Amino acid sequence: MRERLLDMLRCPNCNGVLELTAFEMAADEVATGILHCAELHYFPVYKGIPRMLPNSLTDYWPEIEKAVPDPAPPSVLALVESERFQIEGEAFDKPTKANFSNEWENHDIGGKTWTMELNDRIQWFFLDPIRIPKEELKGKLMLDAGCGNGSQSVAYTKFGLEVVALDLSTGLEKGQVFREIYQEAKPENVHFVQADLQKPPLRADYIDIIHSAGVLHHTPNTLKTFRALRPLLKTGGTFYVWLYKFEKIVTPIVNTMRAVTTRIPAPVFARVADITAIPFIGFCWSVNKLGVRKYETPSRREAALAVHDIFGAPYAHYHNFEEVSGWYKSAGFNEIWGCNEDRRGFGVCGRLPVNGE
């Protein structure tokens, strides 16, 4: 974690400004430390990533404590004395965290996602829909809301963007590694934060671009999450989402299967996904040969990842352009357009008016 991020972060409970106590450094970054606000809500920094979820301090304290110097800083003494190892408020969605953390374990760092190469995903899900010329991206601050494995978050920095990459899962740890091996990356310009999109721990009216591809429909309530993110956007900002749409034949079949698969405990389903990856590959190959659908045959890793996403995610909501564009209108966007629609979903992008317009 770079100290630059501290200016952007806010306590997800009270929206308070956070202070950072660093215990271990890695080059010019904080590898291990503690964040806390004036209300004494505490959050760990572990493996260079702020962990802004309920009970994160409990989860990581055995490792954090090893790095605490002797004598301990006042912030740590206050923590120990208060024994506030939990943050207040609604519990986050633990089943979704578990499913997607297991899913991204199947991701090969630097490999394809959804059978798409990284540059293709950037073009399709980012450059084409947002309608901002490449040369105008430099210097803008972007939120990658639901960054998954973090590879796109890292790649966006080659355009001169500064990126805050949020995800509920531990998949962002893959991105933390990828930023060191992606040749075009500017590692200092990407900040990974483990957090709940329903309670984003970020400063309001501060972000230039919010980008969320294939994520909000996997939260408990798509609209609620959209509304939670909207206040982060500054005047004239751009907000893009890509969401599932309802397919008359496929969706009922998938949902019937999901009624069973989503009840399987996450550790067990991780094994199920690995085993069923092979028949899933066969299914993709067969429908492609028959001309029913056009699928690129995935690798086993990619197939396991797809099984996790389709059949393991606890929530999978379906929407349409008219509905979602209504959300944008109600949220004050004066420019709204549809984009990159395919058989499974569609994108919607909106831009807020600038002052005086």
Per residue in 291-346, pLDDT tens? 666 677 888 888 999 999 999 999 999 999 999 999 999 999 999 999 999 888 99
Distance between CA atoms of 58 and 62, rounded to whole angstroms? 8
**Mean pLDDT across 138-153:** 96
User: What per-residue confidence (pLDDT) applies to 59?
Assistant: 86
Distance between CA atoms of 3 and 326, rounded to whole angstroms? 38
More confident residue, 36 or 232: 232
Distance between CA atoms of 225 and 199, rounded to whole angstroms? 8
Categorize the per-residue pLDDT at 88 as very low, low, confident or very high, splitting at 50, 70 and 90: very low
CA dihedral 307, 309, 314, 318 (to 10 degrees): -120
User: What per-residue confidence (pLDDT) applies to 191?
Assistant: 97
* pTM of this prediction exceeds 0.85: yes
Window from 6-10, 54-58, 62-66, 222-226 with minimum mean pLDDT? 54-58
pLDDT reading at 126 higher than 60: yes
Given the structure tokens 């919607």, which residue do they identify?
348
Window from 52-56, 219-223, 239-243, 318-322 with minimum mean pLDDT? 52-56
Per residue in 163-189, pLDDT tens? 999 999 999 999 999 999 999 999 999
